[in-house]
Structure 1
Amino acid sequence: MSLTCEKCGYKSNEVKGGGEIASHGTRITLRAETTCDMSRGVVKSDTACVAIPEIDFELKESGLGLYTTVEGLLMKMHDGLKQASPFASKDSTTHDKFDKFLSELKNMAEGNRLPFTLIITDPISNSFVGPITESGQAFVQQADQSISDDKRISIEEFQRSREEDDRLV
């Protein structure tokens, strides 16, 4: 669902899953190599974890379910970290290190630091990374075929742990 408040400018594109929980989890790995990869559609469920190994980043399950692009996801994480972190303060001894990390994340979002790997691990398989397409209509018509033919995306299923089953089911 997308929401925009005309009075204050607040925007939300939160996604909430519905229906039956899949019997397995899914790990989606995207090797972002070109700026075109930044415009791929992304559905990140609120149970999914996001990792970017090149900058040693891992966002655990965050309750942040949304529909966006690769660029939008990275910027949302960048902005959230910048606002919420105690390391963002100029008085912090780790400020410079944290600032460098945020700069790397922003450069990735803007397509200035390529290639990188984006891994979305979702124990209930409600997340998705789309193919590169020319238009929204092409996306709808080619999504299933394009994903299987896309050499920069790999999708693997995994068995949830007992703890994940207890928490999610």
Structure 2
Amino acid sequence: MLIALNKPYGALSQFTDRSQPPKPTLAGFGLPAGVYAAGRLDHDSEGLLLLTDDGALAHRLTDPRHKQAKTYLVQVEGEPSAAQLQRLRDGVELNDGPTLPARARALDPPDWLWPRDPPVRFRKTVPDAWLELSIGEGRNRQVRRMTAAVGLPTLRLIRVAIGPHRLGGLAPGQWRAL
């Protein structure tokens, strides 16, 4: 079984939480019994999370050797220059080593996107922009660290695809079997 979930902002990519106060978890979305997340999204990231009851499939989806590209819409602080986009495409140096090259392009603000609760902070004096970024790795907070490394801090991060699996029209908190 393979399930696509649109993980909302603030929810954890696990079924339990022992923190105080507790955060929303996957247990609150009415998912079938026996599935678990194939990969993670930080609590402050949104979008596509795949869940499965098949360990081999989970491995194929998450192991970097299987080259499942992960595609994100990224709202960044600042206007990306051609040089900043090229640095992302070339791979950037992070504190845990260089990243693999990414696919990166500037986008118009998505007109289909749901509002975030709470909303992203708005600053009159600092512009923001949207990027589409696809990576073949999955290091901890990698997209946020990559955009920061080129001078474009991430304001909002939404995963829209993992390999051939797309978020589609799922609203936050909704899921569907694939």
Q: TM-score, normalised by structure 2?
A: 0.28
Q: Is the strand fraction higher in 1 or 2?
A: 2
TM-score by length of 1: 0.29
The structure that is helix-richer by fraction is 1
